[in-house]
Structure 1
Amino acid sequence: MFQDEARFGRMVRIRRCWAPKPARPMVGNGYEREFLYVYGAVSSLQGQFDWMITHIMNTTHMSEFLAQVSSAHRRDFIVMVVDGASSHKAHDLVVPENMRLLRLPPYSPELNPQEHVWDELREKEFPNRVFNDLESVRRQLEDGLPRLAANRASIRSLTAWPWIVSINLNAH
């Protein structure tokens, strides 16, 4: 599985959109710097996507997320590919028994397919939207994340890159 965190907030992300001529779409602009964080892990081969929403990104929440993923996949041994965030290498990080962490090289987000899941979520659920409060952002995440996770074929098409599919991970 590949793991990453992303933040979603009240600041608008301007995207192109269609409108009938001669209308010009207007998008409000939000400058509020309030965010929620989403921990995500994707299994490219199975098209599975696990996630957790939090108000803060830290070692405690990372441990909680790893425990959540471990519990959801308790019959599997999970090699979790993570980046070099400080919460991923903290001494008090709790890694479940059925999981090992594998760190990506520094400054290599292009190797993590979870980044594409975040792009898809932003494109489909957050374009041209200004949220009045952080609770509205949470509701949008709580609607959009399960919708994305339910579409395993889409998750596979976003994340099952040839070099990932070609890896044979049979533990004996």
Structure 2
Amino acid sequence: MARAIALRSDFSATELRRLARRSKDAAQARRLLALALAAIYDGGTRSEAARIGNVTMQIVRDWVVRFNAEGPDRLTDVHRQALAAQIDRGPIPASHGVVRWRLVDLGQWLWEEFGVSVSMQTLSREVRAMGYRKLSARPKHHAQAEGAIETFKKNFPATLAGIAREQGLGLDAVEIWFADEARVGQKNSIPRRWARRGTRPCAPQDQRYASTYIFGAVCPEGGKGAALVLPFCNTAAMNLHLAEIGEMVSPGKHAVLLLDQAGWHLSGDVAVPDNITLLPLPPKCPELNVMENVWQFMRDNWLSNRVFQDHDDIVEHCCHHWNRLVDQPWRIMSIGLRDWAHRF
């Protein structure tokens, strides 16, 4: 017969009963009561614990081993609220020594703040139950003006209505387009991929520098797109792109083209077609431009993890995959529709 394992001595039966009463997890409460009510701390037997927990003696032994190693899962609502606030605030590098929270850092913070010791497995389960996941952060320009995005979204319906009045049209005759440029080259990116845990997957990466530009624009509501693949990013290229967009605007409608404030977008030499009005986005606010998400989708799924043979090969792939995108209008709608732009 296996030798009985003694329970750790820093908890009493009374403390375990109190923790069981406070627990909202039925399985956790049952484990704690099996250890406390069966009076293991008071000299009871493991068979009594197994009977009360309605489990086998081996499972009781496993509970004891886990309890000794991790202690009770004893995060209270107060702990959870403080933990959520700490996650939302993020770490202060000078104080916490890290620039992003890891489970081990949060566990250390709980110990320092409340004297609560929680295993990484339990903490992971708690954090996920609170609705948190480890996500890729959205880039934000460090010099972005406070409230610029919110102000633009709030004023957008009135701005759009003003453009429609100037054109003598109703809002239903206005198409909302987004435009931007992306550089695609031999020095390519490597996106995340599925792989077996504990491995480091490999992907091809070129070190040469041949590249080209996709001048792209989409109309999410109509599932339409217009693009040119051009060797330079300048005003002349922008004029060609604007002419291409103008051809794609539905007859009798007017396009409001949202784009960033790059020099070649707003130059005095830009030739804007009569059926297009340029609407600059606030400076340093790429989050407002749907095309950023289009580029991310194309890179992650179609253009990355490739070795392009030469400039012509890059152009061919860019043209092929842009045409592939516009052949999927539902994809453009899924990526590009925004409540602030289309559902106000």
TM-score by length of 1: 0.89
Q: Among 67, 70, 87, which residue is 2:246 paired with?
A: 70
State the partner residue of 2:315: 138
User: What secondary structure does 2:226 align onto?
Assistant: strand
State the partner residue of 2:283: 106
State the partner residue of 1:93: 270
Superposed CA deviations along residues 120-168 of structure 1, whole A, max 9, x for unmatched, are: 111121221121211111111121111111111111010101111124x
| Structure 1 counterpart of 2:182, one-letter code | A
State the partner residue of 1:33: 209
Superposed CA deviations along residues 59-88 of structure 1, whole A, max 9, x for unmatched, are: 011011101111222612111111100001
Runs of 4 or more, structure 1, over 3 Å off, are 16-21, 23-26
User: What secondary structure does 1:156 align onto?
Assistant: helix
- Higher-Rg structure is 2
Aligned mates of 1:84, 1:15 — CA distance in 2: 28
Identity %: 32
State the partner residue of 1:170: none
Aligned mates of 1:73, 1:85 — CA distance in 2: 23
Q: Among 43, 48, 51, which residue is 2:224 paired with?
A: 48
**Structure 1 contact 74–98 (Cα < 8 Å) conserved:** no
Larger RCO, structure (CA 8 Å, separation 6 or more): 1
TM-score by length of 2: 0.46
Name the structure with the higher helix share. Answer: 2
State the partner residue of 1:160: 337
Compute the displacement of 1:15 (Å).
2.4
Listed as ranges, the gaps of 5+ residues in structure 1 are 168-172
User: What secondary structure does 1:42 align onto?
Assistant: strand
- After the TM superposition, which of the residue ranges 68-77 and 10-19 deviates more from structure 2? 10-19
Name the structure with the higher strand share. Answer: 1
Aligned mates of 2:306, 2:196 — CA distance in 1: 19
Over the aligned positions, Cα root-mean-square deviation in angstroms equals 2.0
User: What secondary structure does 1:91 align onto?
Assistant: coil
Listed as ranges, the gaps of 5+ residues in structure 2 are 1-176
